[in-house]
């Protein structure tokens, strides 16, 4: 195990109405800084806003400013969907890539950017066209810590992993329902930056077209399932990762916060405390971790 690896655990996003009274206490004022609340619990938050639109630079700067008292804290950013989900031919990617990179400038200047997640849709398969697009993205976003998230199992073939290493792009290890064609749980490392995303295992709603975001990610991991992922994180550390980001995306009604805190106890800090409202919603957070769950570092 590499003693130099830094592990950070957190959630995908922080602005969810259904987190009220669970992650945020009942009666919390509207002006309460909810970003600061989540940043006080975790060492990373994945920003989803960039995926849907490019936020104003002043807003991005405010995010960096609001965590200035937490030196270990980092943001990761889910890349703009125009770069990963659009129908544009690969040569047309350079201009939107430059616009996207420019909006992240405040995070870079504040040294708060931990990684950029290129989340690709399930429909994307390994192909000459797909690799051409990845190569052009790596060129257009050169200098940024890139990680690619694929949903299909075919992307975990050794040849694909080798090509990602050649491009300097990290591989996002994900947890998702065990359905045909889906990428299974992995512990692959293709750059010094390791990334894990936990989406939940709600198989019934995963591919249902009318399933909303909440239904698809409505899943609470068991302690046993989290322990399995802790072992994979340890394998990533042993494999030479310099930084490891573990992101819980099973956000519905605060389940991501519960599971992220449990993983933080396993991997970083066994004494990490849960806010009273979160412990009330998930009573198992009030229980001491089993003796076998020791910090990773």
169-174 average pLDDT score: 98
Dihedral pair phi/psi, residue 6, rounded to 5°: -110, 125
Positive or negative, the Cα torsion across 177, 183, 184, 187? negative
For 59, the token pair is 């807003």
181 torsion bin: left (phi>0), alpha (psi -120 to 50), beta (else): left
Q: Between the CA of residue 241 and those of 100, 152, 195, 213, what are the distances in Å?
A: 26, 23, 10, 31
Amino acid 87: pLDDT: 62
pLDDT (tens digit per residue) in 1-53: 445 799 999 999 999 999 999 999 999 898 999 999 999 999 999 999 999 99
Domain spans of the chain, in order of start? 6-286
**45: Cβ–Cβ under 8 A, 6 or more apart, which residues?**
10, 11, 12, 13, 14, 35, 38, 39, 75, 76
Helices and strands (H, E) in the chain, number of each type: 13, 8
Structure tokens at 242: 């310099």
Architecture per CATH, 6-286? Alpha-Beta Barrel (3.20)
Across residues 163-180, what is the average pLDDT? 97
Q: Which element (helix H / strand E) includes 162?
A: helix 158-167
- Quick: pLDDT tens for 221-254: 999 999 999 999 999 999 999 999 999 999 999 9
- pTM for this predicted structure: 0.93
**pLDDT computed for residue 178 by the predictor:** 93
Give the C-alpha separation, 276 to 28, whole Å.
13
- Given pLDDT bands bounded at 50, 70 and 90, which one contains residue 92? confident
Query: Which H or E run contains 235?
Result: helix 223-238
Report the half-sphere exposure of 175 (CA within 13 A, side-chain side): 25
**pLDDT score of 212:** 75
Closest CA to 5 of 187, 158, 256: 187
Q: What is the pLDDT of residue 4?
A: 79
Mean pLDDT in residue range 172-178: 97
Q: What are the tens digits of pLDDT across the range 197-212?
A: 999 999 888 888 777 7
pLDDT in tens, 249-289: 999 999 999 999 999 999 989 999 999 999 999 999 986 55
Q: Compute the distance between CA of residue 68 and CA of residue 66 in angstroms, rounded to an integer.
A: 6
**Predicted confidence band at 88 (pLDDT cuts at 50, 70, 90)?**
low
> Residue 213 pLDDT more than 90?
no
pLDDT at 289: 53
Bigger pLDDT: 29 or 172?
172
For the record, the structure tokens of 179 come out as 């359905």
Q: What percent of the chain clears pLDDT 70, i.e. is strictly above it?
A: 94
What pLDDT, in 10s, does the model give residues 130-146? 999 999 999 999 999 99
Choose the weakest-confidence range: 87-91, 170-174, 187-191, 213-217: 87-91
How far apart (Å, rounded) are the C-alpha atoms in residues 72 and 44? Answer: 8
């Amino acid at each position: 195990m590499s003693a130099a690896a830094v592990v950070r655990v957190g959630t995908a996003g922080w602005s969810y109405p259904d987190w009220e009274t669970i992650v945020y206490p009942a009666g919390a004022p509207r002006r309460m800084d909810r970003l600061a609340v989540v940043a006080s619990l975790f060492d990373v938050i994945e920003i989803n806003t960039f995926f849907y639109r490019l936020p104003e630079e002043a807003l991005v700067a405010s995010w960096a400013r609001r965590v200035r008292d937490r030196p270990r804290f980092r943001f990761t950013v889910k890349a703009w969907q125009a770069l990963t989900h659009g129908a544009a031919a690969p040569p047309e990617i350079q201009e939107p890539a430059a616009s996207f990179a420019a909006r992240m400038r405040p995070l870079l200047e504040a040294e708060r950017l931990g990684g950029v997640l290129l989340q690709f849709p399930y429909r994307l398969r390994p192909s000459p066209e797909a690799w051409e697009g990845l190569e052009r993205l790596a060129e257009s976003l050169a200098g940024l810590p890139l990680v690619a998230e694929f949903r299909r199992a075919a992307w975990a073939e050794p040849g694909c992993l080798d090509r990602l290493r050649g491009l300097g792009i990290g591989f996002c290890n994900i947890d998702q329902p065990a359905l045909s064609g889906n990428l299974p749980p992995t512990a692959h490392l293709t750059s010094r930056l390791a990334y894990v995303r936990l989406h939940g295992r709600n198989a019934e709603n995963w591919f249902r077209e009318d399933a909303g975001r909440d239904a698809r990610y409505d899943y609470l991991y068991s302690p046993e399932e989290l322990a399995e992922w802790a072992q994979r994180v340890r394998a990533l550390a042993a494999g030479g990762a310099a930084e490891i980001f573990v992101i819980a995306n099973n956000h519905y009604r605060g389940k991501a916060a519960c599971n992220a805190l449990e993983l933080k106890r396993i991997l970083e800090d066994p004494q990490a405390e849960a806010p009273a409202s979160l412990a009330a919603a998930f009573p198992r957070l009030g229980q001491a971790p089993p003796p076998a769950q020791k910090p990773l570092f």
